Chain A
Amino acid sequence: MPKVVIDPVTRIEGHLRVTCQVEDGQVVDAWNHATQFRGFEIIMRDRDPRDAWQFAQRICGVCPTPHAHTSVVATERAMGIERVPDNARIIRNMFEATHVGYDHILWFYLLNAFDYVNVPDALNASPTTPALQNLQSQLRAVVESGQLGPFAGHWWDHPGYLLEPDQNLELVSHYLQAIEIQQISNDAQARIGGRFPMVMSFIPGGMQERLEIEEIQYYIGAMERVKDFVDNVMVPDVLALAPVYIELAEQGQGVGNYLSWGLYDDASQEPANRVLPSGMILDRRITDVQQPDLNEVRMFTKHSWYADDAGQGRHPLDASQDPQYTELPPIEGETLPSGKYDWSTAARYGERNLPMEAGPLADMLVAYGSGREQVVSLVDQTLADIGAEGQPQVLMSNLGRIAARVLREKVNVDFAYQWAQELLDNYGNGDMQVYDAVDVPDSGEGAAGWSAPRGALAHYMRIEGGRIGAYAAVPPTNWNLSPRDDDDVRGPLEQTLIGVPVEDPERPLEILRTIHTFDP
């Protein structure tokens, strides 16, 4: 039975290998291996709790802002702070809106598009506009120079590429536009945070400075441009791609459990009241949304390169963080992964130790099942547009993961202006407060959850003697790319890969596509 290994999985953040067994043109088993460890939680021990978020945002340079934000809220909870001033709540929403604004655009065009868009085939297009003609001649110059750069060596002749040459050329032009638009969103983020990546302006208790009027204006102008691109380029692109690649709706159904900690606080600062509310869906029951508990998360390390606690699911703050590397099986040969094979630990939920899928699909399904009006109409309209009216279960697929990320961006830009308006209203009413000073206590414990662009993100902190006694981050990787747990139940990506067709094991494009739907 052929073993198919992709290492490196490119166009992601970090380092990932995926091993699959392929039989009769289908994946029959799969293992994912995060091949990087840095030891953040060990490094953060015994430091000033106020500094935690600065460490934590370096976990991911693609999504530092939600890490910083979630970490600072976990620090607040450990310090006994349950709420921040309303202006801080709004500025944090604005911050996240600029971040989501860039992130989903980056993913859809820079990380995911080359799985469907054939760049060399754009040379066969017959463009009629000067802009596209110019782009085509630029591309031709690159190809004729023999220096293809990022386009070199890919499986461009794979039969799975189905777009027409004109569509390919147009999408390459959107790819280049996307680079500019993500910059515009990040410029607004830098006006709030000093720079991007690695933002500067959070502080336990609120924000370090209030936003000045010109910073708010800048945000509004930038988000208008992002919204214009999302409404007129990105959403139409996904609707144009869906019918061509409709087989994606038959692939990658996954584990059927979905987890969201929620996105965008309203004035109550309660996760269940967020624009995209916290919630979970079990066994594909979309209409039965339950509230998740941050303290019901359990970590397993039987198959991870940490000290072994077989049979022991542990609370994140009590889970093993001590590295215990063994080996990766060689790429060649028949050896399959066994024992420990992953730097990611396995996160599971509740009594049943459930693997949970996290990400925009989970966020959108939970919001849909919770009856959030904007989300319901948006999802229903999209289902109608792709010929699946009234069948939200169609979204539980590779296609759904792609579409949900685009729709989540749409929700983001539709709400972006509201935060600026709320902030200006508060200013107008004389409320300028952004910070409540609180001293670091001698002891405390806290947790916070948020829906980062990749999905459910949680941070946990224990303060001992005024210092960080224990720290844990449970990012979406620990859910989506978890290895098998102590009962050998596969993680979501491993499960999702099973059944994916593979036309040519030498060029496993379908496996790459499936991995990318999780934005790993």
Chain B
Amino acid sequence: MSEEMSAFRGVTRRDFLKYCTWLAGVMGLGEAGMARVASALEAAARRPSVVWSSFQVCTGCAIQLLQAREPTVQNLILQQISLDYQDNVMAAAGSAAEEVLRQVTEGEDFYWVVEGSVATGIPGAMTVAGRTSMEVVDELYPKANATIAMGSCAAYGNIQAARPNPTGAKGIAAYLREDGGVADPVVVNLPRCPGHGDDLIATLTYALVNGELPELDAVGRPVFLYGQTIHDTCFRRGHFEAGRFVERFGDESTGDRDWCLYKVGCKGPVTYAPCGRNLWNGNVSWCVNNAPCQGCAEPDFWDELTPFYDQVRGGDLPGLYGVTAEQIGIGLGIATAAGLAAHGVGTAIRSRRTTRAGEPGRREGGEL
């Protein structure tokens, strides 16, 4: 007897509900949210179109997306989204690839994912089909339903922007605000280096299910993902509280004893990221299994949180001396992506529009 199929493009009902449960969990909706996720996904007649631009990249974020498990990459690209332009996996090349991009983006109904930083100091430091990263942002940001900065480069410039930043690399939001004439850009930042595929899938699904973008913190990260520090979710935390620290790599305190890595450079206390809850690579591991956290979800970590193997600068830690992580951290404030309204799934989400003249064209509601 064949298994009951869901209405969702050839996936079994059981697998589909399992997936919805996982997503609802990641999105912080709880069990009650599962039904909402399921009905929203099943109601979407057209797969949401995703355009992925690569600027100053190493391609690590794209490779990380290929490690996604829930859904499988196969279901993701064949059933859940329509990955219409992604230069690492698309068949078409050259002018044929650019024609695909033109056709998809002229409809102005697509989610725009960006990997890599924008080169503003040497515009020619990154070109695709002869166009600079700045030109591509100027064209696509106003057209997209939503702009998602996948990974630390698109979010904050990351390693390219580390001192002395030879190419004038910036994250998308900084470029829009400082050079692109957009006073208050709406960009969802999903920093980590590389960006984590699960963050992207969860954010896209959140937007589809809720018809609006998630609440963002002061540096543009979704609160539902980036609300806790690595330190708060670390399995070594008990050793920290008990004052048991690794003093030197490779000695008896490492291996299967899992003592705290604070003294050999762990940046967990000042790093807000979901690594401890959504592990990496099919949940088999995360950095602090094998090494101190390097703080890769924080802006400017290459300059602010290095040397990697020296104790974090700027103070001591909660539990030891009564100083809070917030006081020595990079700070957490809450900002919301305003100007968006729920229109149900399949409805295009419109970010704030801004003309080049610099008038913030705030548009309430999701007009189609």
Binding site for B on A (CB under 8 A): 5-15, 17, 35-40, 42-43, 47-48, 50-51, 54-55, 58-62, 64, 106, 110-111, 114, 119, 134, 137-139, 141-142, 145, 147-156, 176, 179-180, 182-183, 186-187, 189-198, 200-201, 203, 205-210, 212, 218, 305, 323, 325, 327-328, 330-331, 343, 432-435, 437, 507-508, 512
Taking the closest CB of chain B, its distance from the CB of A53, in whole angstroms, is 10
Quick check: A54 and B167 within 8 Å, CB to CB?
no
29 A-B residue pairings within 8 Å (CB atoms): A8-B98, A9-B94, A10-B90, A11-B90, A13-B88, A15-B126, A35-B128, A48-B307, A48-B309, A50-B307, A51-B308, A54-B294, A60-B59, A114-B91, A150-B91, A152-B91, A153-B92, A153-B100, A183-B67, A193-B285, A193-B290, A194-B286, A195-B285, A198-B60, A200-B287, A203-B309, A207-B249, A325-B124, A437-B250
Quick check: A153 and B96 within 8 Å, CB to CB?
yes
Taking the closest CB of chain A, its distance from the CB of B304, in whole angstroms, is 13
Quick check: A58 and B159 within 8 Å, CB to CB?
yes
Q: Which one of B54, B249, B289 lies within 8 Å of A15 (CB-CB)? A: B54
Question: Does B311 have its Cβ within 8 Å of any Cβ on chain A?
Answer: no
Question: Does B10 have its Cβ within 8 Å of any Cβ on chain A?
Answer: yes
The residue among A14, A193, A198 with the most chain B CB atoms within 10 A of its own CB is A198
Question: Does B219 have its Cβ within 8 Å of any Cβ on chain A?
Answer: no
Question: Does B319 have its Cβ within 8 Å of any Cβ on chain A?
Answer: no
Which 5 A-B pairs rank lowest in CB-CB distance, beginning with the nearest? A61-B60, A435-B250, A39-B166, A200-B291, A195-B280
The residue among A36, A48, A141, A203 with the most chain B CB atoms within 10 A of its own CB is A36
Give the size range of B's interface with the partner.
Answer: 35 or more
Residues on B with beta carbons closer than 8 Å to the beta carbon of A47:
306-307
Binding site for A on B (CB under 8 A): 9-10, 46-47, 49, 54, 56-64, 66-67, 69, 72-74, 77-79, 81-84, 86-100, 103, 119, 122, 124-130, 159-160, 162-167, 169, 193-194, 248-250, 254-256, 280-282, 284-291, 294, 296, 302, 306-310
Residues on A with beta carbons closer than 8 Å to the beta carbon of B287:
194-195, 200
Q: Which B residue sits closest to A46, measured CB to CB?
A: B163
Q: A153-B96, A198-B193, A201-B291 are in contact. Are A191 and B307 (CB under 8 A)?
A: no
Quick check: A512 and B60 within 8 Å, CB to CB?
no
Q: Which B residue sits closest to A218, measured CB to CB?
A: B284
Q: Which one of A119, A201, A325 lies within 8 Å of B125 (CB-CB)? A: A325
Q: Which A residue sits closest to B281, measured CB to CB?
A: A190
Give Cα distance in the complex from A1 to B72, angstroms: 47
Q: Which one of B103, B129, B281 lies within 8 Å of A196 (CB-CB)? A: B281
Quick check: A10 and B46 within 8 Å, CB to CB?
no
Residues on B with beta carbons closer than 8 Å to the beta carbon of A327:
124
The residue among B56, B165, B169 with the most chain A CB atoms within 10 A of its own CB is B56
Quick check: B46 and A147 within 8 Å, CB to CB?
yes
Quick check: B159 and A210 within 8 Å, CB to CB?
no
Q: A39-B160, A47-B306, A55-B302 are in contact. Are A197 and B96 (CB under 8 A)?
A: no
Q: A8-B128, A37-B122, A210-B250 are in contact. Are A59 and B291 (CB under 8 A)?
A: no
Give Cα distance in the complex from A150 to B287, angstroms: 32
Q: Which A residue sits closest to B288, measured CB to CB?
A: A194
Residues on B with beta carbons closer than 8 Å to the beta carbon of A207:
249-250
Give Cα distance in the complex from A8 to B86, angstroms: 11
Quick check: A50 and B96 within 8 Å, CB to CB?
no
Q: A192-B290, A194-B287 are in contact. Are A183 and B69 (CB under 8 A)?
A: yes
Q: A58-B58, A58-B159 are in contact. Are A153 and B294 (CB under 8 A)?
A: no
Quick check: B282 and A331 within 8 Å, CB to CB?
no
Quick check: A42 and B92 within 8 Å, CB to CB?
no
Quick check: B159 and A48 within 8 Å, CB to CB?
no
Quick check: A150 and B89 within 8 Å, CB to CB?
yes
Taking the closest CB of chain A, its distance from the CB of B273, in whole angstroms, is 12
Give Cα distance in the complex from A434 to B119, angstroms: 41
Give Cα distance in the complex from A392 to B289, angstroms: 46
Quick check: B162 and A43 within 8 Å, CB to CB?
yes
Quick check: A152 and B100 within 8 Å, CB to CB?
yes
Q: Which one of B78, B89, B281 lies within 8 Å of A110 (CB-CB)? A: B89
Give Cα distance in the complex from A208 to B264, angstroms: 10
Quick check: A196 and B67 within 8 Å, CB to CB?
yes
Quick check: B73 and A61 within 8 Å, CB to CB?
no
Taking the closest CB of chain B, its distance from the CB of A413, in whole angstroms, is 19
Taking the closest CB of chain B, its distance from the CB of A412, in whole angstroms, is 18
Q: A50-B307, A328-B130 are in contact. Are A179 and B164 (CB under 8 A)?
A: no
Quick check: A209 and B250 within 8 Å, CB to CB?
yes
Taking the closest CB of chain A, its distance from the CB of B24, in whole angstroms, is 24
Q: A35-B126, A154-B96, A203-B249 are in contact. Are A138 and B59 (CB under 8 A)?
A: no
Give Cα distance in the complex from A8 to B201, angstroms: 26
Taking the closest CB of chain A, its distance from the CB of B137, in whole angstroms, is 16
Residues on B with beta carbons closer than 8 Å to the beta carbon of A14:
57-59
Give Cα distance in the complex from A79 to B54, angstroms: 37
Give Cα distance in the complex from A152 to B79, angstroms: 15
Quick check: B84 and A152 within 8 Å, CB to CB?
yes
Residues on A with beta carbons closer than 8 Å to the beta carbon of B62:
61
Taking the closest CB of chain A, its distance from the CB of B113, in whole angstroms, is 14
Residues on A with beta carbons closer than 8 Å to the beta carbon of B69:
183
Quick check: B164 and A42 within 8 Å, CB to CB?
yes
Quick check: B256 and A212 within 8 Å, CB to CB?
yes
Quick check: A153 and B97 within 8 Å, CB to CB?
yes
